[in-house]
Amino acid sequence: MKKDDLIAPGHRTCAGCGPAIATRMMLRATGKNVVICHSTGCMEVTTTQYPLTSWKVPWIHVLFENACSVAAGVREALDAQGKEDVTVIAFGGDGGMADIGIRAMSGLMERGHNVLIVIYDNEAYMNTGIQRSGSTPWHAATTTTPAGKISKGKEQWKKDMVAIAVAHHVPYAATASIAFPFDLEKKIKKALEIKGPKFLHIHAPCPIGWYFSSEKTVEVAKLAVDSKMWALYEVENGEKKLTYKPKGTPVADYMKLQKRFRHLSEEDIKEYQKRVDESFGKMFGK
Ligand code: SF4
């Protein structure tokens, strides 16, 4: 990757912030010729406290719900000026993109704008106080799905955003992780070579909302992949391909570093393991 960082240090993310690592990696892969349309969220509020900004590339703050609409507009305006070479990225967290902004995202993908959509997934609304999102994993405790005597945390399975993107017939959709920088870089570069709407979903652990020690961010991210809690794959013109074969580490090893899962009993974790194995097997046949 290029050494120059296009996101300046001194911003106000928490120590060990996974989304900050994702942002840095994304910009190292895109280079300077890019416009970022960024929905509200952790990476937005922490990088742009007036009158300062950490962004060294053109950047626009957009509401939770319409980063993709604005990105589509920016794309069309650039094209009208003959600036087809400029990359446009719709960027945001899981709350802004996978939940609140999903309607605008669907519109962008269906209309076929030449935009890369990037979600940094910290698996809850961290910026507003750790509320669950559609991307929060099953049984994780959040402030709106607290674990206790009558609850084991979030009741629903994590939303499958790549499947939603693929259902829009996008030419390229993929997942990535901050623990696999070269895989992430390769996917962004590949996506940018393809014309049309592209989708990248980056898993980005949050020490504050997942309750782990801030020096363990990359370790937690790697365990998510090796335990099959987060698969690294891509779908190119409908063809699905794993880009990393996970080691098959027990999900318990991933969970034990995070307090959001600490309420789960051995029995619960066994059931969890079964569901993760089934889900991975259904997707990749192994
Ligand atoms: Fe990053 Fe989490 Fe802090 Fe938000 S709350 S800035 S995602 S570490």
Which tokens belong to 150?
Answer: 């009558």
pLDDT attached to residue 83: 98
Fold of 18-284: Rossmann fold (3.40.50)
Name the residue type at position 66. N
Query: Cα–Cα distance between 57 and 101 in angstroms, integer?
Result: 23
pLDDT of the chain, 286 residues: tens digit per residue: 567 899 999 999 999 999 999 999 999 999 999 999 999 999 999 999 999 999 999 999 999 999 999 999 999 999 999 999 999 999 999 999 999 999 999 999 999 999 999 999 999 999 999 999 999 999 999 999 999 999 999 999 999 999 999 999 999 999 999 999 999 999 999 999 999 999 999 999 999 999 999 999 999 999 999 999 999 999 999 999 999 999 999 999 999 999 999 999 999 999 999 999 999 999 998 6
Among protein residues, the one whose CA lies closest to atom 6 of ligand 1: 13
Among protein residues, the one whose CA lies closest to atom 7 of ligand 1: 206
171 upstream amide cis, omega within 30 of 0: no
Q: How far is the CA of 281 from the centre of ligand 1 (A)?
A: 32
**206: nearest Cα among 129, 138, 147, 102:** 129
Do 244 and 214 touch, CB atoms closer than 8 A?
Answer: no
Ligand 1 contact, 6 CB (< 6 A): no
C-alpha 133: how far from chain center: 12
Q: How far is the CA of 11 from the centre of ligand 1 (A)?
A: 12
Return all residues near 259 (Cβ < 8 A) that are at least 6 apart. Answer: 141, 210, 211, 212
Query: Cα–Cα distance between 186 and 194 in angstroms, integer?
Result: 13
Q: Taking phi first (over 0 means left), then psi (-120 to 50 degrees means alpha), and beta for anything else, what does residue 203 get? A: beta
- CA end-to-end span of the chain, whole Å? 32
Whether this model's pTM surpasses 0.85: yes
pLDDT attached to residue 87: 98
pLDDT attached to residue 281: 96
Query: Cα–Cα distance between 33 and 11 in angstroms, integer?
Result: 22
